[in-house]
Amino acid sequence: MPTPRQAELQAASRPKNAYRLSSIGFVAPSVLLVAVVLYLPFIWTTYISFTEYNGLGDPTWVGLENYREMFADPEFLTSIRNTLFWVVGTIALPVGLGLLIATLTHGMPRATWFRLPFLIPYAVSGVAVGVIWSFVLQTNGALSQALEFLHLPGSELRWLLDGPLNTFVMIGASTWQGAGVNALLFGIGLQSIPKEPIEAARVDGASGFTLFRTMTWPMLAPLTTVVVGLAIVGSLKTFDVIWGMTKGGPGRVSETLALTMFKETFVNNSYGLGAAVALFLTVVTVLASILYLRRQLADSRGA
């Protein structure tokens, strides 16, 4: 027979065991949903990337052949280059412009109304943004005609036909769409900064850019980490704006990794090669996110 102390411990453990079982019952559907929606497709994509498969019949195992073909293709290297342009451009322009707008309008009466025109394009879909800017930037389009009318240089440029110029102007179109929401996020961050340290710095003589660099910017660091992290991930998987403006062309000169993945899979029916590109893009996205977050965490600890 158990001792009184053992009987007491067993009685105390019963509610804990019942709580664990009920907790598992609540969590299990979510875990199953994540496994079905995320993990199983990822495992299947990884398997397909090692096969030759056109969507019909059974996949044929080819090992690393898709990866060899992928890295031997000069157009794939162009996609990597364009994707890097998008990463740098999306961080420097939409994030930087959003921060500038939020900072200049912070503290102004009715600042929301000043930010609203920049926020409206965010409500437009990426494909619609592509269509709008295609009309503006097409050869002999609205921009070229305006430059020619004003006798300014640039009217002869083929904005959407020459690479990497077309990539740069598409980054500009993406900036037009995304700067407003970044301004909104930074505006919220500026409103959450305590006023006392800022006022104390002003009393000490800090003002303008010095005040921003020494006080405001460090206090915005947690929000900046989130905004830049989202920008990195978003730039790596950019698809809609490019598809709406150039479809990766002319040829494949403005493709990014996301478009290469789409075209290989759904245009060329090369599911194995498309899956290899998808897996490569996934690895790059995860590594970029981890490296950036680790760097930011290390900087915050050092501070």
The pLDDT tens digits of the residues spanning 191-236 come to: 888 888 888 888 877 777 788 888 888 888 888 888 888 888 888 8
If pLDDT is split at 50, 70 and 90, which confidence band does 258 have?
Answer: very high
- DSSP-derived secondary structure letter, 255: -
pLDDT of residue 4: 56
Residue 271 tokens read as: 């599911």
On the question of pLDDT at 2 being above 60, the answer is no
pLDDT of residue 36: 81
If pLDDT is split at 50, 70 and 90, which confidence band does 48 have?
Answer: very high
On the question of pLDDT at 81 being above 90, the answer is yes
Average pLDDT on 261-282 reads: 92
Rg (CA), the chain: 26
Which residues have C-beta within 8 Å of that of residue 241, sequence separation ≥ 6? 126, 127, 129, 130, 133, 170, 173, 174, 177
Percent residues over pLDDT 70 in the chain: 91
- pLDDT tens string 243-252: 999 999 888 8
Q: Among residues 237, 189, 221, which one has the least CA distance to residue 293? A: 221
Tell me which of 113-127, 135-149, 202-216 is least confident. 202-216
On the question of pLDDT at 16 being above 70, the answer is no
pLDDT of residue 33: 84
pLDDT of residue 263: 92
Mapping DSSP to helix (H, G, I), strand (E, B) and coil, where does residue 52 land? strand
On the question of pLDDT at 14 being above 70, the answer is no
Mapping DSSP to helix (H, G, I), strand (E, B) and coil, where does residue 61 land? strand
Upper half-sphere CA count for residue 170 (Cβ side, 13 Å): 35
Average pLDDT on 147-170 reads: 89
Q: 241-264 burial, b for 16+ CB within 10 Å, e for fewer?
A: bbbbbbbbbeebbbbbbbbbbbbb
pLDDT of residue 9: 47
Mean pLDDT of the chain: 85
pLDDT of residue 213: 82
pLDDT of residue 24: 76
Which residues have C-beta within 8 Å of that of residue 67, sequence separation ≥ 6? 49, 276, 280
Q: Among residues 195, 286, 257, 295, which one has the least CA distance to residue 71? A: 257
Mapping DSSP to helix (H, G, I), strand (E, B) and coil, where does residue 51 land? strand
